[in-house]
Amino acid sequence: MPNLKVKPSGTSGRVIHVTPESAGWTYVGFDLHRLKPGETASGETGDREICLVWVSGKGKATAGTKDFGTLGERMSPFEGAPHAIYIPMESTWSVTAETDLELAVCSAPGGGTYQAKAIPPGTHPSLTRGKGTNVRYVNNIMPEDDGSAHSLLVVEVITPGGHTSSYPPHKHDQDNLPHESFLEETYYHRLNPPQGFGFQRVYTDDRSLDEVMVLEDGDVTLVPKGYHPCAATHGYDLYYLNVMAGPKRIWKFYNAPEHEWLLKA
């Protein structure tokens, strides 16, 4: 199995490149571009659909024949909800930075007759989940109930320092609806302040997979199967951008039974 943590390859240009082939799985891809003003990232979707997420900064965007103009408001992923664009298969796209820009390219197999569209902040309500030190803040970008894509699911979460997230531990590695759906998943992590660190464990019931990773600013983690809780250390807020995809565009997870009592505590 490939290493479950991918570190940035540099400080500019495409610094993260995760493909189904490099991850050893079938569905999810994830790229991260860091652009200076005037620099451009572009591509073709081919047989995949993508969601561009303005993690921070501003940039002008086109997709196919559509000109979306300048998008982006926040200068940090810790400052509210993002701008995003959905782009279907068999299309082209281009984004030119107007400020320092961090642009995520989330991808999965395409299909259907979906159209390119902007997803501005506020398209979906921001949510607060959990209780006590399990509270975290969620920005849905492409949730399962929006009916706007073939297979992509995209969401952001901010976990305050000292809190846990993706917790109690849950998994979605069985195509067993209505009880559980099979979804591969990537996490793109940022920390505030950036010198901080957090932790993520990825493990299965039989412990044939059981890895604990230190999360530093800019790391990507892969979740091919199993439970995958995160923890933010005191004093450092943890942001992550999740990309999920599988054979069905449904997020149905299964909680680790020994920890499910926490939901009722």
CA neighbor of 201 nearest in space, from 220, 221, 229, 167: 229
Return the amino acid letter for 141. I
Which pLDDT does position 1 carry in this prediction?
57
> Positive or negative, the Cα torsion across 75, 78, 81, 82?
positive
> 163, 239 in Cβ contact below 8 A?
no
CA neighbor of 129 nearest in space, from 171, 76, 167: 167
Which pLDDT does position 147 carry in this prediction?
87
Composition of the chain by helix, strand, coil, percent to 5: 5, 50, 45
Which pLDDT does position 176 carry in this prediction?
96
pLDDT single digits (tens) 170-206: 999 999 999 999 999 999 999 999 999 999 999 999 9
pLDDT single digits (tens) 94-111: 999 999 999 999 999 999
Which pLDDT does position 39 carry in this prediction?
98
Which pLDDT does position 2 carry in this prediction?
64
Return the CATH superfamily for domain 8-262: Jelly Rolls (2.60.120.10)
CA neighbor of 141 nearest in space, from 186, 103, 84: 84
In the predicted model, residues of the chain with pLDDT beneath 50 are none
